[in-house]
Amino acid sequence: MDNPLLDFSGLPRFDAIRAEHVTPAIDSLLAEAEAAVRHAQTVSPVTWASFVTPLEDATERLWRAWGQVAHLQAVVDTPELREAYNANLPKLTRFGAALGQDLALFAQYRALAASPDYAQCDATRRKAVDNALRDFRLGGAELDDAGKARFAAIQEELSALSATFSQNVLDATDAFTLHVDDEARLSGLPADVVATARVTAEKAGKPGWTLTLKMPCYLPVQTYADDRGLREALYRASGVRASEHGPPTLDNSGHIDRILALRTELAALLGFASYADYSLATKMAQSPAEVLGFLRDLAARALPFARRDRTELEAFARDELGIDDLQPWDLAYASDKLKQARYGYSGQEVKRYFTEPTVLAGLFDVIQSLYGVRVRQDSAPTWHPDVRFFRVEDSAGTLLGQFYLDLYARDGKRGGAWMDDGRNRRSTAAGTQTPLVHLVCNFGKGVDGQPATFSHDEVTTLFHEMGHGLHQLLTAVDVLPVAGINGVEWDAVELPSQFMENFCWEWARVQAMTAHVDTGEPLPRDLFERMLAARNFQSGMATVRQLEFALFDMAIHGDFDPADDSVAALLERIRDEVAVNRPPAWHRFPQQFSHVFAGGYAAGYYSYKWAEVLSADAYAAFEEAPARLAETGARFLAEVLSRGGSRTALENFTAFRGREPSIDALLRHAGMAAPAA
């Protein structure tokens, strides 16, 4: 196996993959997949064994290899790897488009659905076949030849644009540094942030401190830096990334216009009124009107709280901090000072208790207590020395799945936090293939020999991504198209992740996952009580901020007409409706909105709030029966996590909860169950 991308005998050989391996491997696997497609087009009789299994075997190898390339391009990007990725992306996009439009395959799936073999299939396989028939229609299989060609061309161009959009944001983020010679300007910053800035400067051969736009630096500067000019400088630099205010080669403005035009055209080709309608064809929500109604109903409930939050913050900033004109770069700073004044603690103080080894041990203990499975250290080739590898076993020691954990921010690594799958569960001739998952965050790394410490928000992020991972790792479904998160409606995908966040607020859990970085002492109970009292601090403002993004996303993919409107003007109208904190006119949020323009959330960003209703209601079941934790956890595992996409998300939820979801728990958890005083 000279080419590690062609080696499927075990775990990926991430330490051996080089840019020069990409094209030969993809070309070989594409040829294999295309041959499998040709065979599948004419195989007879059409059964699951004769048709679906060999087609899945070949195409899965292709997508697994490409997944390794895409993953590396996101976490250890180099010019050579990016060039190889961009060169091969069109091939994969063309193949995927052709597969989705293949009339012969479509006919074979229809024949399978009408066959005795389908009648003998279990519900999981039937769901996979039904989904495939739906996806052929959504993939343009019923278009005429000209329509198919145009649909494929649109998909190929959209793939390239999305990749460029994401790469531009990464490059613009990595390109900015602010060097500080005067240590006094760093007043208020946590010691670990200052130490990291010193190390960054040393690596560049400079004295002093170098600040960046990576989140482990940017967020602490916005939250803790006493130097208002320093906060403003980083805010401005962050706010204009990947826009016309920087290098033309990194400007995403034109890409946004083109992406929206292509999505509109694609939806029209398939007979949808808008891209939003097309997007919702595979989601829980039935129509854009339903989504907009949900968002605006939540906005009506949240706005009184958000306006109160803003008024209180303005008064505090004026009276206690001497800031008469509260600006966006003051919001996090003033909010933290207000939280300290009101609740008697700071995020910096809390962060000293959440040390990485103790947090991970606490997270793994939560998983074991909920689902009866153990997480253990494991070994595997990795893409960076900081990456750790774990295995998940059931109570008998049987391997259920494995995952990589890549926690720290670095150059060449895409910002944010995410989970993706390296290999999904499926039944093969050799036995059951176990899942393999990547969990990626962008936290600050420990310096000067100390372990990394995490803010409570970062701990929550880690639990969130682990929830996604568990959805993949604990699936009991052996049918690839509906195993793990495959086949799960996008607006329900966040249910397991948001559900896990709740355990970051339980005293016993928090106590067990804290050990002060200097003393080893757990978080004091009185400090936790102050955190708990502050849990819903500014929840109104936080809610309407998410609603702003969700409404903007639905609007630009709905009846938005660029001939009569602009993206910027539309965003301002959305802000007129729901925002209480307005960015400056020069801020370029859309140019950085990778979730929508480079990720899978187009006309789907609302799913965060939609799934929050599900996750809050699911956690309420645990609140209602605290003495039956293991029993409730086993039921959640059996009816939600292990089911994957083998049933609809609503069927999974109602099987667990005994009824359809209610918004009441979300409002209660957010402190918005009653009108603001």
Neighbours of 75 (CB within 10 A): 20
Contacts of 672 (CB under 8 A, 6+ apart): 301, 302, 305, 536, 539, 540, 543
Report the distance separating Cα 513 and Cα 361, nearest Å.
7
H/E stretch holding 211: strand 209-212
H/E stretch holding 400: strand 399-408
Q: Catalytic residue, from 56, 60, 156, 465: name it.
A: 465
End-to-end alpha-carbon separation of the chain, Å? 68
**659 secondary structure, DSSP code:** S
Contact, 77 vs 173, CB < 8 A? no
Q: What are phi and psi of 96, to 5 degrees?
A: -60, -40
Angle at 391 between CA 389 and CA 392, to 5 degrees: 145
Report the distance separating Cα 639 and Cα 631, nearest Å.
12
CA distances to 44, 101, 275 from 153, rounded to whole Å, are 32, 12, 17
Neighbours of 450 (CB within 10 A): 15
Per 3-state DSSP, the chain is made up of helix, strand and coil in percentages (nearest 5) of: 60, 5, 30
Report the distance separating Cα 434 and Cα 421, nearest Å.
11
CA distances to 177, 189, 244 from 218, rounded to whole Å, are 11, 11, 22
- CA 72 to chain centroid, in Å, comes to 17
Neighbours of 666 (CB within 10 A): 24
Contacts of 514 (CB under 8 A, 6+ apart): 353, 354, 355, 358, 359, 362, 522, 523
Report the distance separating Cα 378 and Cα 402, nearest Å.
8
314 included as an active-site residue: no
Neighbours of 17 (CB within 10 A): 24
**638 secondary structure, DSSP code:** I
Report the distance separating Cα 136 and Cα 117, nearest Å.
21
Contacts of 550 (CB under 8 A, 6+ apart): 295, 605, 606, 608, 609
Report the distance separating Cα 293 and Cα 622, nearest Å.
29
Report the distance separating Cα 5 and Cα 182, nearest Å.
49
Give the active site residues: 465
